[in-house]
A and B are shown apart, each in its own frame.
Chain A
């Protein structure tokens, strides 16, 4: 509608109408036909409104199929372990969170599968359900080291602090894997699962008190405890003759190589305690100790105290009978630390000696550097050999290299001699010879490969 009061500039008429010509608005005077004003051809904004392609073609966002598959796997693992509903829910939540984190979103599918297992493991630990990493590795058919690495990363990423499991808690779940109940094995080889579990837990507790468990993998210890418990429940000739390998075949479990060593260590401890039983006349040896396991376990605390007391009395007597030698021995060990610590005045002295790294805890901190029965070693026996019970890695320590002589004071800014550096550089002739030999070797390799 033209605004009121508008007049044509040509004839002064007020008879002006709105005329749309080719969609263009015009105000035209009816009397003289003059165009009073015209609007723009197009009223739309140049370039159009910003609408992205994804907005125009957007559909409802579907969840990632690999995430759904992973959640299904987590559920399947939970059902095969027969955990409760809370653990299943928590595992799924943890898996969803971890999967979508930047550390795990782009990893391979295999690692995502392992991640699912790790989420189940951490949920079980948080809700007090005993389960080992070995069980998860077995279910996933994955390398335990890979499972361990992903577990550590996941725990750090999700900022979870999971408590450490106790081996006695896991014992019952582990012993159920062994198929030696009366339903699965013949009568002469079967054992009641409850009694077996009880005896095995007692053996593991004894092993924990005598330094066999600390720092070791739990599965071989549990295997050896179950084997000894099974033998001792019915110590017939047939059972005592059966080796660990055959026992594992009967029970349908995979044998651990290390379990044999644990069996030997446990038998050694049982022998030390068996000697204290007053009603046993014969010598207690690893061959016949299994028959006395029941008595030993029943009175193990009293036997431990008695064994420690006997050991202390024996050492005191040895000290008295050796006389002067023992005095010399006692003074020498005190001299050696003084010599070594002669330069230390403060509580924590820093030395720049070269020494080996301790690695997996098998190092002995108390042997002297010389490895072959030196006077220093005799004067300073390690505490493992003095104590009745000690970690086996301390009792049988690794031999150490002799330390290098202490280097002179180094500042880091000394002059560097050119002659020394020249010894690290080849001459041009040596370079030519080296290149020729490399070529000859590579030609030989190619010839071998083609044949």
Chain B
């Protein structure tokens, strides 16, 4: 995946969203009547998996539902609506409301390796590197909400509240990474 034509692919791997049903939900009823459902009484929630799109929903008895696993914002909304429709079919008076995207996780591969110690020194204090805890450098962008994790192989993960921030985060961090491109590859 060399960037010979100057383009970098940002691949969205996970979108997390939440919505509410505006009615209480009986978790035992959902666990009994639903397929693809895992009931966790200790955690007080039910996990429901939808095949298309590939989404996992965590359902609480208060009516709050969290959906994770989609690969785009629209897919996440589609999956959330499917979950709401399933609950409606189970007999609950469900209304799809307060849908919002909470988190977007994306991956981008740089065509060069990165010297993590240099990157940390150049971008202190936004960058923090604890090799004993995690092999990547965590770079927090303060202008807008986004966190970038930089691995020495050139792979970066960007976590932001929406896709727009993900793209902005990748654009902001690219020149900083380029400065710390290792010379051993030349």
Contact = CB atoms under 8 A, between A and B. Distances in A.
Q: Interface residues of A: mostly helix, strand, loop or mixed?
A: loop
Contacts of A145: 133
B22 interface: no
Contacts of A412: 73-78, 81
Given A217-B132, A434-B32, 4 more contacts: A145-B133, A152-B133, A218-B131, A337-B3
Interface string B1-21: 111111111111110000000
A132 interface: yes
Given A164-B130, A347-B6, A354 B71 contact: yes
B7 A214 contact: no
A355 B11 contact: yes
Interface of B: 1-14, 32-36, 48, 50, 52-54, 71-78, 81-82, 85-86, 89-90, 105-107, 109-110, 113, 115-117, 120-121, 124-125, 128-136, 151-155, 157, 163, 166-167, 170-171, 184-185
A148 B130 contact: yes
A219 to B, nearest CB: 8
B9 A344 contact: yes
Contacts of B129: 164
A429 to B, nearest CB: 12
Contact of A358 (B36, B107, B131, B163): B107
Contacts of A407: 53, 71, 75
Contacts of B125: 161
A346 B7 contact: yes
Interface in A403-418: 407, 410-414, 416, 418
Most buried by A among B8, B90, B153, B170: B153
Nearest to B52: A420
Contacts of A166: 117
A350 B163 contact: yes
Interface string A390-402: 1101100000000
A353 interface: yes
A215 B170 contact: no
Contact of B133 (A148, A387, A390): A148
Contact of A348 (B5, B10, B134, B151): B10
Most buried by A among B113, B129, B154: B113
Sorted nearest first, the 4 A-B pairs with minimum C-beta distance are A412-B77, A215-B135, A365-B109, A161-B125
